[in-house]
Amino acid sequence: MTSRVLVVDDEPAIVRTVAANLRARGYEVVTAMTGEAALAAAELHQLDCVVLDLGLPGMHGLEVLRRLRTWTPVPVVILTAVDGERDKLAAFDLGTDDYVTKPFGMAELLARIRVAVRHGEQAKAGTRPHVVEAGQVRIDLDTGEVTREGRLVRLTPTEHRLLEVLAANAGRLCTHRLLLERVWGPGYGDESQYLRVYVANLRKKLDDPDAPKLLLTEPGMGYRLVTSETA
Amino acid sequence: MAVRWRLDVRRRRTALGYATAVLGTGAAAAVLLLFRGRVDQVIVVLAFLMVVVTAAATGGFAPGLLATVLGFLAFDVLFIPPYRTLRVAERDAYVSLAAYLLVTIVVSTLVVAREQRRREAERREQQARTLYALSQSLVAPTRLDAALAGVARTVRELFHLAGCGIVLAEPPGPMRLAASDGTLSAEAFRLAEAVIAGSAGRPPQSPPGGPAPGRPLALPMQAAGLTAGALVILAGDAAPAPIGEAERRVLVTFANQAAVVVLQARQEQERARTEALEATDRLRTALLNSVSHELRTPIAAIKASAASLHDQEISWDDAQRQEFLDTIDQEADRLAHLVANLLDMSRIEAGAVSPQLVEAWLLEAAGRAVRRVWGGVEHRIDVDVPEALPPVLADPVRLDQVLTNLLDNARRYGGDGPVRLVGRTVDGMVELRVIDHGPGIPAAEQDRVFEQFYRVHRPGQRVEGTGLGLSICRGLIEAMHGKLWAETAPGGGAAFVVRLPRADGPA
């Protein structure tokens, strides 16, 4: 099945180059140069991924993302020259799947698009992975069983819930807000000190607390679970 | 004024009380003597008692006591037989005298106490009124120094002082005389500085007493545990009496109120400064974001194209390879252009543009710019420039750069209609207008288009260029002692107006 990607950027050179690379790898590509055109294209086409610039003339990329999210869970990869923490956080809070800063490595962008498309397919088919493997750690999302080097790891309910959210979004950045609201519930969005404590506990049980390899901190933004397939 | 008046009155009233005691007793005795033997002793006692009450009410306790003693003597000597001696014949007379003494002392004490309460209330009211007058002088003007000048003037007038000044402690800077009225001696300043240095961090202390005429008094201005400065006064030689405890209390209260105002003004200043810094910071961040965005975009395109060509997995066809190469070429040009613009911009901002001013002809320069902008493409240019348009003083290279930029904008945003060039002389300057027939620039944005990275957003139109062009143009024209601004042309298009000094005109 051919995946269809919408590339949104006001720079023709970027659109041309990214589109050419995607087509060369068998993707079908739709392009748009403004936010309005992007929203129209998203309604018109069955999309598997959107590559979205933030600094668009007229409607800002974040607004495009917000409007997309009101009706579609299509995976979005932000591709932008803006690398301010605030914009990044806002994009993740609005539900982007990934964020790539210009200038970018083409290979990296293509890999991120690939992961995003796969996530989207799994979500669409309702076939989220049953098992997430990260290094020596194996998380069975169906039974809730977590093992490290084959041995069962005992987790508290909160630790378990946190790991579950991270594993369900394996490879993707989970912002503090997203984790807090999913694990502790709405209204806890600003209590990031809770997170620090529980992430530290999880690292003690599953990872090397001094040099984490599985549960990575994205400073000021959130955490990311690196799995065997997304590493 | 009111306080001084009040004090004078008090002194005068005491004197009046003694006068009442002496003269009243004398008068009462004289009148009663006419009827001695025919009036009841009770009437005599009541008459002297009236004198005592009047003296106590007028002058206070001491005059009351004097009236009592005088009345007692007069009563005893003149009205109780045997006359002209303190000796008393009848035993009843002792009772009369004792009753007289008891009644007068009790009554005069009561009267004095009541009178004191009344005066205290009056004094409080007076102080409140004084403070109100002073705080009005604080509240009315908005600027601190004007407010403090008002305070110094009001205090000096209220207390009949030779001089009043306010010295502010402004760490880490030196102390400063913020306001003064009348004359102040060097000793007064030294005293003020000593008070500020001595009272820093300590609660207000108020030793009693005041300065002698011609001697300064300094009071710390304290609020919220901080010493804002000192209120220093110099009592005048002409003042009827020294500064007393009541005046001093008023002054202390007021010095502390002034301190509150000073501290509030400082907080306000601090807040304004912080706000200004934040605004500058926001602007700088916005500028930096724009620069980084503008620089990264072409680099991203170049890098992506180069990486694509590098990719071993894909075999691109010739057309595609050519497109990548074209992208790299064009984006490198764009980057070079942007870097040149940024360098120009920083030169202009650093004031490092030194145009070589020579005689130049605007129409000629415009002709060169038209050829550069439109190249071989046919485009109608309407020229309305008088033959005899005098030359200007300009740097030909920079002038070409500006006109090329303005005409390029007209080509990009000016629609398909002809571009009009209109020249004239005005106020010793030569003016050239570049007028297009596009949608024009909204009046609100006509000045903002000269800001760095500012762009007029039009729906459905891609933004091109670096966002620095007009900003650089204005910088260059100003470096050549000229002016550049935008207007709306009569037909609705955009008009950019360049004015440069005449080469033959008065410098």
Tens digits of residue pLDDT in B249-270:
878 887 888 888 888 888 888 8
The per-residue b/e assignment along B314-323, b for 16 or more CB within 10 angstroms, e otherwise, is: eebeeebeeb
Sheet containing B176-182: order of strands: B176-182, B161-168, B226-235, B216-223
> How many residues does this entry show for chain B?
507
Q: Give the per-residue pLDDT at A86.
A: 82
Tokens of B272: 């304004």
**Phi, psi at B181, each rounded to 5°:** -140, 135
Q: Give the per-residue pLDDT at B239.
A: 54
Query: Closest-CA residue in chain A for B314?
Result: A24
User: Does the pLDDT value for residue A28 go beyond 90?
Assistant: yes
- The verdict on a CB contact (< 8 Å) between B296 and A102 is yes
Q: What angle in degrees, to the nearest 10, is found between the helix axes of B61-74 and B2-19?
A: 10
For residue B272, name the pLDDT band (cuts at 50, 70, 90): confident
Reduced to 3 states (helix: H, G, I; strand: E, B; else coil), residue A31 is strand
Q: Give the per-residue pLDDT at A117.
A: 92
Query: Which residues of B lie closer than 8 Å to A, measured between beta carbons?
Result: 289, 292-293, 296-305, 307-308, 311, 314, 316, 320, 323-324, 327, 330-331, 457, 459-463
Reduced to 3 states (helix: H, G, I; strand: E, B; else coil), residue B213 is coil
Half-sphere exposure of residue B269, counting CA atoms within 13 Å on the CB side?
Answer: 11
Tokens of A187: 């209204």
Q: What is the pLDDT of residues B340-399, one digit of tens each?
A: 888 888 888 888 888 889 999 998 898 888 888 887 777 888 888 887 889 999 999 899
Q: Given the structure tokens 């989207």, which residue do they identify?
A: A120
Environment class of residue A109 by beta-carbon count within 10 Å: exposed (0-12), middle (13-18) or buried (19+)? buried
B317 vs B276, more confident:
B317
- Of B289, B298, B327, nearest to A84 by CB-CB distance is B289
User: Does the pLDDT value for residue A109 go beyond 90?
Assistant: yes
Which chain A residues contact residue B300 at CB under 8 A?
11, 14, 81, 102-104
Q: Give the per-residue pLDDT at B347.
A: 86
CB pairs under 8 A between A and B: 77
Q: How far separated are the first and last CA of chain B, in Å rounded?
A: 62
Q: Give the per-residue pLDDT at B346.
A: 84
Q: Is the dihedral of CA B433, B439, B443, B445 positive or negative?
A: negative
Q: What is the pLDDT of residues B118-176, one digit of tens each?
A: 877 777 777 777 766 666 666 555 577 777 888 888 888 877 778 888 888 877 777 77
Residue B310 and residue B293: Cα distance in Å, rounded? Answer: 25
- The verdict on a CB contact (< 8 Å) between A24 and B316 is yes
Which chain A residues contact residue B282 at CB under 8 A?
none
Reduced to 3 states (helix: H, G, I; strand: E, B; else coil), residue A8 is strand
pTM: 0.54
Average pLDDT over chain B reads 81
Q: What is the pLDDT of residues B155-168, one digit of tens each?
A: 888 777 788 888 88
Tokens of B99: 């009753």
For residue B1, name the pLDDT band (cuts at 50, 70, 90): very low
Which chain B residues contact residue A11 at CB under 8 A?
297, 300-301
**Phi, psi at A96, each rounded to 5°:** -75, 155
Q: Give the per-residue pLDDT at A183.
A: 86
Which of B445, B482, B465 has its CA nearest to residue B334? B465
User: Does the pLDDT value for residue B201 go beyond 50?
Assistant: no
Q: Give the per-residue pLDDT at B238.
A: 57
Query: Closest-CA residue in chain B for A107?
Result: B307
Q: Best mutation site among A16, A17, A112 for testing chain B: the one with the most B CBs within 10 Å?
A: A17
Q: Give the per-residue pLDDT at B37.
A: 78
Reduced to 3 states (helix: H, G, I; strand: E, B; else coil), residue A118 is helix
Average pLDDT over every residue of B439-457: 82
Residue B349 and residue B341: Cα distance in Å, rounded? Answer: 12
